[in-house]
Copies of this chain bind each other. A is one copy, B any other.
């Protein structure tokens, strides 16, 4: 077992001073050709790499991005991570991923842990419980400390920061309009409780789209799901209750469960009931029937968020502060679950 090499060891080995070694490796012109060669050869031979921790301490920069997300099982979040990773690595940054499990306490804890020097900036999507409480002082705290923060997807207005979101209202309208265009008359929505911003906004888009097309909005056509534990039965009951000819689900799990509920009721998708989802994941693609959906471009959101963060990290500190909000366009992917 051969432990990592340090400048000090090289210096001792070659019988020169530490700074000579350091300078040689950084190709400083102060150092003579021959010593430089010698040192570089030695370093290469024994595969010297500077210690990141020491560099971080010295430069007050870790070249690491902290990502905090509510859960990783939603395919959407994994695509976001993938996008973040992609541009981060490209620019020489590492990515620390922490899961809040949708818990306020875990979110706070994770952020404290990371904020104490481990990272240069945050990319975060707010936990469900945090939105429910409406308590954002841990977020505001980090930006006050001068640590850049980019919020994505589940964003909150109260926090002054860069944001990467999609236009949920517009996306939802797109979905509902699509259903209407295909002849739907009685459209139900399967959404989340209102304190989840995206659920609220998508419900709003649904409502607006109906109104703009001269439809009535019936509260019985709106299902708001609180937790993911037994969505099957909730959705099944909801579908049985009314005579829908189309359903709009705010995520792909809901959409898949909706299809099942329709079939359990003895109806067919898309012939009797059309179904449209939100977020384009593996499930939507592989499902039978494959699911028409509003695509959220998770990896692009991740890329944008990373770009935004790194831009802020690398700009000179005397530039004036300004917060951007990037709205990633949604798309409509038509597949088998609509006519």
Residues of A within 8 A of B (CB): 1-4, 49-54, 56-57, 62, 64, 72-73, 75, 78-79, 81-82, 85, 89, 94-99, 106, 109-110, 112-118, 144-146, 253, 256-257, 259-260, 263, 282-283, 286-288
The complex places the Cα of A144 from the Cα of B46 at a distance, in Å, of 13
The complex places the Cα of A2 from the Cα of B144 at a distance, in Å, of 6
Q: Assess whether B81 is in contact with A72, with CB atoms less than 8 Å apart.
A: yes
Chain B residues near A57: list those with CB within 8 A. 53-54, 57
Chain B residues near A286: list those with CB within 8 A. 253, 256-257, 260, 283, 287
Classify the interface of chain A: helix, strand, loop or mixed: helix
Q: Least Cβ distance of A105 to chain B in Å? A: 12
Q: Give the contacting residue for A62; candidates B4, B53, B113, B257; CB below 8 A.
A: B53
Chain B residues near A49: list those with CB within 8 A. 112, 115-116
The complex places the Cα of A237 from the Cα of B71 at a distance, in Å, of 37
Q: Assess whether B117 is in contact with A99, with CB atoms less than 8 Å apart.
A: no
The complex places the Cα of A146 from the Cα of B73 at a distance, in Å, of 34
Most B CB atoms within 10 A — which of A113, A144, A146, A259?
A113
Q: Assess whether B53 is in contact with A82, with CB atoms less than 8 Å apart.
A: no
With known contacts A52-B117, A82-B99, A117-B51, A146–B1 Cβ distance under 8 A: yes
Q: Assess whether A145 is in contact with B1, with CB atoms less than 8 Å apart.
A: yes
Cβ-closest 3 pairs across A and B? A256-B286, A51-B117, A53-B117
Chain B residues near A52: list those with CB within 8 A. 113, 116-118
Smallest CB gap from A88: residue in B = B98
Most B CB atoms within 10 A — which of A51, A72, A106, A110?
A72
Smallest CB gap from A85: residue in B = B99
Q: Give the contacting residue for A51; candidates B72, B116, B145; CB below 8 A.
A: B116
Smallest CB gap from A3: residue in B = B146
Chain B residues near A114: list those with CB within 8 A. 94
Smallest CB gap from A5: residue in B = B145
The complex places the Cα of A253 from the Cα of B1 at a distance, in Å, of 42
Chain B residues near A263: list those with CB within 8 A. 288
Chain B residues near A95: list those with CB within 8 A. 96-98
Q: Assess whether B144 is in contact with A1, with CB atoms less than 8 Å apart.
A: yes
Chain B residues near A288: list those with CB within 8 A. 256, 259-260, 263, 287-288
With known contacts A282-B73, A286-B287, A117–B4 Cβ distance under 8 A: yes
Chain B residues near A2: list those with CB within 8 A. 144-146
With known contacts A144-B2, A263-B288, A287-B286, A97–B99 Cβ distance under 8 A: no
The complex places the Cα of A143 from the Cα of B287 at a distance, in Å, of 43
Chain B residues near A56: list those with CB within 8 A. 53
Q: Least Cβ distance of A53 to chain B in Å? A: 4
19 contacts between A and B (CB under 8 A): A1-B144, A1-B145, A2-B146, A3-B145, A57-B57, A64-B118, A73-B78, A75-B75, A82-B99, A94-B113, A94-B118, A97-B97, A257-B286, A259-B288, A260-B288, A283-B283, A286-B287, A287-B287, A287-B288
